[in-house]
Amino acid sequence: MNPRFFNWIWHVKGSLALAPEQSTDEAFEKLAPLFRQTGTSHKRTGDSISFRKVDPAAQDKMSVFDGGVLQIERGAAGPVLHYNLTSRALMFCFFAPLLFLAFAQLTIFKGKFDKPSVHPASNAEVLMKAEKESALLIQNPIDKALGAPAPVKPGKDKGTGDKKSSPKAAYIFAGIFAALYVIGRLLEARLVGSLFRTKLL
């Protein structure tokens, strides 16, 4: 399968038209401060710059990206900056919901096998159980006169019994990471485009 079908998940691509009189050296000189950040290494080859980030500082405006390539092409309409940036954070936010959805399905699958098996009881066993429960539910007259609460049937206390595992938490986390991916994918693409435009123009 062609990996290009999946590259859009963690790749942010775009282009920006430059001023007609702006040279490649001048454009890269204006962008240079972005590649002089802590944990950032870069290399220029002709009309392109490639960079890589390792443990970038929090104040780095491009810290969400792990690397990328910026290239300037000159055509009849003038110079154009093309950029292709990669982000492992976006990739994680894309695949995290799938992981949590898998956990939810496993929880549902496990719950089907955790149900207690019910065996038919004989009439004698049912009668004996009913007699024991009724004996436990008899309230002492003195307790009743003092206003004590009536005894509760064993096993029916609030909060007792086996709690069934629920996939709700997994669905919540899946929704959170899905929202983070959608918001981050759109927001970061706009922010980095605006950042390059501000530096260049």
Residues 36-66 pLDDT 10s: 999 999 999 999 999 999 999 989 999 999 9
Q: Which residues in the chain are classed under CATH 3.30.310?
A: 4-86
CATH of domain 4-86: 3.30.310
pLDDT for position 165: 76
Lowest mean pLDDT among 71-85, 135-149, 150-164: 150-164
pLDDT above 80 for 154: no
Q: Is the pLDDT of residue 93 over 90?
A: yes
The DSSP annotation for the chain comes to: --THHHHTTTEEEEEEEPPTT--HHHHHHHHGGGGSSTTEEEEEETTEEEEEESS--TT-TTTT--EEEEEEEEETTEEEEEEEEE-HHHHHHHHHHHHHHHHHHHHHHHHHHSSPPP-PPPHHHHHHHHHHHHHHHPPPHHHHHTTPPPPPPTT-STT-SPPPP-SHHHHHHHHHHHHHHHHHHHHHHHHHHHHHHHHH-
Task: Say if residue 128's pLDDT is above 90.
Answer: no
Please state the pTM of the whole predicted model.
0.71
